[in-house]
Amino acid sequence: MSVSTDMLFQTLSSRVKVPAGEFAEYAALTEERNYKKNEHVFRHGDVPRFNLFITEGCMRTYYVGEGGTERTTYFAEEGYWTGDLESMRSGKPTQQNLQALEDTTSVTLTRDKWENCYQKFAWIQEIHAIGQQRRAAKLSEHIGRLLTDSPETNYLRLVQERPRLLQRVPQYYIASFLGITPETLSRIRKKLSAS
């Protein structure tokens, strides 16, 4: 096993029971892909060809609205999956953009191989179901919190849940994720560090 697929195996095994022989078969279908800092994996309008598991580095998902406003909605660090599964599987162009924020290494699985593995391995179906259910729940909660709690509370929650993320990602992406301006975020940070 390479260092990358080893991390994939650890992450999968922490959630479902993965037969080692089947994992080897699965891992043999994956490909490592590397991205430079700021490089895009796909942009709005593309149909993503593969799904990614990050083994080193960090990526952000963002939307571009009317007039070019950008909003970051998701950060994937080591041990996270990212991409746009719905668009990849359906073949409908994605509305998202996926960009590396650091030099990033990922283990990827192209669409046909993804579908074959999904049909073949029960543990993939299981981890997919668990993962998507959790993701839907997290997103629903995120919308609720973003729109009802104060920016300060939302910032403190992020500090607690993803301390490492805040150390590595530029503050304007954090502000964007929290739905506030960089100035507001800067004010919150100053206030908190003074108290």
Among 25, 40, 115, 144, binds its own copies (CB under 8 A): 144
Query: Phi first, then psi: what are they for 42, rounded to 5°?
Result: -150, 165
State yes or no: residue 153 binds its own copies (CB under 8 A): yes
Of 112, 118, 149, which Cα lies nearest the Cα of 132? 118
- If the CB atoms of residues 24 and 63 are measured against its own copies, the closer one turns out to be 63
| Sole window of 15-23, 25-33, 55-63, 98-106 interacting with its own copies (rule: CB under 8 A) | 55-63
By C-alpha distance, which of 61, 56, 115 is closest to 84? Answer: 61
Residue with tokens 């100053």: 190
Nearest residue (CB) to its own copies, 14 versus 148: 148
Interface with its own copies includes 191 (CB under 8 A)? no
Q: How far apart are CA 109 and CA 112, in angstroms?
A: 8
**x-or-dash pattern for its own copies, window 85-114, by CB under 8 A?**
xxx-x-----xx------------------
119 touches its own copies by CB under 8 A: no
Q: Which is nearer to its own copies, 24 or 139 (CB)?
A: 139
Q: Shortest Cβ distance from residue 131 to its own copies (Å)?
A: 9
> Do 95 and 46 contact (CB within 8 A), yes or no?
no
**Minimal distance, residue 132 CB to its own copies, in Å:** 4
Q: Which residues bind its own copies (CB under 8 A)?
A: 61-66, 69-71, 73-74, 84-87, 89, 95-96, 125, 128-129, 132-137, 139-150, 153, 179
